[in-house]
């Protein structure tokens, strides 16, 4: 069986992000078929604008991401 896991977070007026993984459920467990980074640093787009960086920091703080 294949399962797609697609958590996302959306903040009105700010933006959002969605991350997906595809998992193959096997008789012995599972196999992760998505081979992309999963850490927040690799998934974060860095903005060169100070205001955008501040907004991102406030959003991460609001949702509990360090």
What are the pLDDT digits (tens) for 35-61? Answer: 877 777 777 766 566 777 788 888 888
CA distance 51 to 58: 11
Q: How far is CA 51 from CA 1, 26, 27, 34, 48, in A?
A: 45, 47, 50, 33, 9
The structure tokens listed for 20 are 């997906």
The structure tokens listed for 5 are 């896991």
The structure tokens listed for 25 are 């459920």
Q: What percent of the chain has pLDDT over 90?
A: 23
Q: What is the pTM of this model?
A: 0.47
Through-space distance between the first and last CA atoms of the chain, rounded to whole angstroms: 35
Q: What's the residue count for the chain?
A: 66
């Amino acid at each position: 069986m294949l399962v797609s896991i697609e958590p996302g977070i959306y903040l009105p007026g700010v933006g959002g992000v969605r991350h997906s993984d595809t998992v193959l459920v096997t008789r012995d467990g599972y196999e992760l078929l998505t081979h992309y980074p999963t850490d927040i640093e690799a998934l974060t787009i860095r903005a060169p604008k100070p205001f955008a960086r501040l907004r991102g920091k406030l959003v991460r703080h609001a949702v509990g991401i360090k």
